[in-house]
Amino acid sequence: MRRSTSFLTILMLSAVVTVLLANLSSAEAKGGNCQAKLAGNSYECNLKYSAGPPATDCFEFRTGGISANFTLTNGTGELGCTCATTGSFTSPSFDSSPSAFECVDGSGIQLNGKIKSKKLSGQVTDEGGDSEIYTCTLRSSPCP
């Protein structure tokens, strides 16, 4: 009886470990950095400006473009993007954040954002000190 109890305990522990490892592998496959979640998607966005009335825009993300990583195209042009750096100063992991990203264009516009499920939010600043905040929802089709 003692042998069968030990065998049953080991069998149950093995099953639990197998399930945990399968879930971990599945989460890693879905995860990755923010580029894996953004590239190929379009978002309908609402913007509030520090110096102007509210507006709407459509953000499209794609791999490549003007960036070695991924590019954001909107109503005003293209911005080169990368996922935020994680880790510490002594051990950084560049372009690795699963949720935070940064984009910049050649005229001094910088966009910082976070992705959470089917939503984006963040802030944009320009070299003159003007800023805007935005919130976006995933579109089911590309930007018009």
pLDDT at 21: 34
**Residue of 9 and 81 predicted with greater confidence:** 81
Handedness of CA 40, 42, 43, 49 (dihedral sign): positive
Start-end of H helices in 31-91: 34-38
**Mean pLDDT along residues 109-136:** 96
Break the chain into its structural domains and give their ranges: 1-30, 34-138
pLDDT at 110: 96
Q: Which CB contacts under 8 angstroms, 24+ apart, belong to 88-95?
A: 95/33, 95/35, 95/69
pLDDT at 75: 84
pLDDT at 64: 83
pLDDT at residue 48 is higher than 60: yes
Domain 34-138 has CATH 2.40.128.120: yes
**Mean pLDDT along residues 20-28:** 35
**Residue of 119 and 28 predicted with greater confidence:** 119
Structure tokens at 3: 């042998």
**Residue 25 pLDDT level (bands cut at 50, 70, 90):** very low
pLDDT tens for each residue of 83-106: 999 999 999 999 999 999 999 999
pLDDT at 8: 39
pLDDT at residue 5 is higher than 50: no
**Residue of 115 and 76 predicted with greater confidence:** 115
Residues near 13 by beta carbon (within 8 Å), at least 6 away in sequence: none
